[in-house]
Amino acid sequence: MSTEHISPERPGLAASPLTGAYPEPLWMQARAALENRIAVGEVKPGSRLPPERELCQMLGISRVTLRKALTALVDEGVLRAAQGRGWYVAAPERKEWPNTLESFSETARRMGLVATSRVLRREAGPATFDEAEAFQIAPGTPLYRLERVRMLDGVPIAVDHSLVPADIAVGFDEVDFTTRSLYDTLTGLGFELAQADTTIEARPADAALAGHLAIAAGTPVLEMRQTVRDRTQRPLLSSSIRYAGDRYRLRTSFMRNAGV
């Protein structure tokens, strides 16, 4: 995840300390100054603000005054506080995700958002007993492992750990998975992704996951486990996707059988 900081040398920020010459209290001026920089895109959603000490120096105010301004921005939904980690620009309002089988990238395009990824790991390795059972293969059979931080408009949404049988992961080492969809890659190789068996459950984020998603350790995340099959029921892809709980919402419909 990108932890962009406002540079103390950035024009218009370091050289613009607040003043008591205006009728508004200093904390209100600080709130307006920070909110304006966020609104014009100087600080991106999901980015962490500089340490409080630096912000106090930039704005020429005390830490008590600064915290009053930051707390007001949290109350307005502009910022969020992560205990022990600092202050972050709030992510976009959470989106509803489909109850049809489509890739992260396809969902993003439908919503008018840009999907990108940061690749954490990509390698082939032997299947464990559980993985072999999911793919209906012998333990030790090579699987291609791809782990990514999935982002929408630069905001980290989820960490995706996907497995594909190595014998169908042809040329995967040459694919740019920072922008390329795994679904599109498999489809381009002639495979048809027809069905997914899915389970979703809540779990607390461990320290590593929390770091990737810019949330506090222990924050609830939604883990979606999927096995994607073709029309012959052959498993093509197994994934564990852990979503930041405030950035994911699944909507579905239920129908009651007639006569029940």
Is 79 part of any domain? yes
Per-chain mean pLDDT for the chain: 83
Question: Quick check: 103 and 183 in contact, CB under 8 A?
Answer: yes
- Angle between helix 52-59 and 26-39 (nearest 10): 110
User: Which residue range is the domain that position 60 belongs to?
Assistant: 26-89
- CATH classification at residue 35: 1.10.10.10
Query: Given a cut of 70, is residue 251 above it in pLDDT?
Result: no
Among residues 47, 69, 89, the one where a domain terminates is 89
Rounded Cα gap, residues 201 and 223, in angstroms:
5
pTM beyond cutoff 0.75: no
Domain boundary among 68, 89, 110: 89
Confidence of residue 7 (pLDDT cuts 50, 70, 90): very low
Which among 74, 89, 104 is the end of a domain? 89
Q: What is the pLDDT of residue 76?
A: 78
What is the model's pLDDT at position 237?
96
Q: Is residue 180 part of a domain?
A: yes
Residues 77 and 149 reside in one and the same domain: no
Residue 137, domain member (yes or no): yes
Look up the CATH number of the domain holding residue 146.
Answer: 3.40.1410.10
Flag whether 16 is in a domain: no
* Pair (79, 102) in one structural domain: no
- Same domain (yes/no): 61, 180: no
- Whether 65 shows a pLDDT value over 60: the answer reads yes
Residue 139 has pLDDT above 60, yes or no: yes
pLDDT digits (tens, 9 = 90+) for 184-214: 999 999 999 999 999 999 999 999 999 999 8
Q: Which residue in the block uniquely carries the two structure tokens 């291609």?
A: 144
78 and 107 assigned to the same domain: no
Q: Is it the case that residue 182 has pLDDT exceeding 90?
A: yes
How confident is the model over 26-51, as a mean pLDDT? 83
Same domain, 100 and 78: no
Provide the number of structural domains found in the chain.
2
Percent of the chain with pLDDT over 70: 83
pLDDT per residue over 217-228, tens digit each? 999 999 999 999
Residues 146 and 246 reside in one and the same domain: yes
Average pLDDT on 132-136 reads: 93
Please check whether residues 117 and 243 belong to one and the same domain: yes
Judgement on whether residues 66 and 104 belong to the same structural domain of the protein: no
Q: Which of 198, 203, 199, 197 is nearest to 222 (CA)?
A: 203
pLDDT value for 258: 62
Q: How confident is the model at residue 99 (pLDDT cuts 50, 70, 90)?
A: low
d(CA 251, CA 257): 20
Query: Does residue 20 sit within a domain?
Result: no
Q: Are residues 126 and 170 in the same domain?
A: yes
